[in-house]
Structure 1
Amino acid sequence: MGLKFLGIIPNTPDTDSPTIWLDEETGDLLIQSYKATDVEVKACQEIGSIPGHSTAVPDHETIIRLPKIMLRFIPKPDTE
């Protein structure tokens, strides 16, 4: 897997470091960030996504909170 570092919160302390990497083979993003709180997860589940889709979070998934400042590191889609 070829990963490319995209960014970390500026001036982050050594022990608190939301970070984003790009998998250069798949285009997927790998994100280290804060875990959503139980209250936030419940709010996400209450809103849901599409009708009929489960709101349960499977064991192999999680909900994270990505700080707004990190959005600048997310690559823009290629346009034609």
Structure 2
Amino acid sequence: MKLRFIGIDPSTGGGGSPTVWVEEGSADLVLQGQEAEELLKSQVADTAWVPGHDRGIPAHETVIRIPARMVPILREACDVAEQRAGLR
């Protein structure tokens, strides 16, 4: 699995910063971010997203928080993923 670096939180001071990559083969977005606080995770876990979607967060998943200031980086990652996946 080869990752293409897209961007990092522009206000980073060093380690542990939110980061976005696109996986070259699948065009999946790969996100690193601060794990959401328990209150937010419980709100997500209690939300029924769509009919038939189970409530809760499966043990193999987590909820992360990406700062709004990273929206341009996420847009770029989406553009790259669309191009790689042939969706455009």
1:34 corresponds to: 34
Please report the RMSD computed on the Cα atoms of aligned residues, expressed in angstroms: 1.7
- Structure number having the greater helix percentage: 2
What is the match of residue 64 of structure 1? 64
Match runs of 1:9-24 below 5 Å: 9-24=9-24
1:45 Cα deviation (Å)?
2.2
**TM-score, normalised via structure 1 length:** 0.84
Q: Does 1:5 align with 2:5?
A: yes
Q: Give the superposition deviation at 1:24.
A: 1.2
| Paired position in structure 2 for 1:49 | 49
**Counterpart amino acid of residue 45 in structure 2:** Q
TM-score where L is the length of structure 2: 0.77
- Aligned-pair distance for 1:21? 0.6
Runs of 4+ residues over 4 Å off in structure 1:
none
Distance change >3 Å, CA 59–CA 47, structure 1 → 2: closer
Measure how far apart 1:72 and its partner are: 1.1
Shift of 1:2: 1.6
**Could you tell me how far 1:28 is from its partner in structure 2?**
0.4
Q: Tell me how far apart the structure 1 counterparts of residues 20 and 65 of structure 2 sit (CA, whole Å).
A: 13
What are the ranges of 5 or more consecutive residues in structure 2 without an aligned counterpart? none
Identity of aligned residues (%): 34
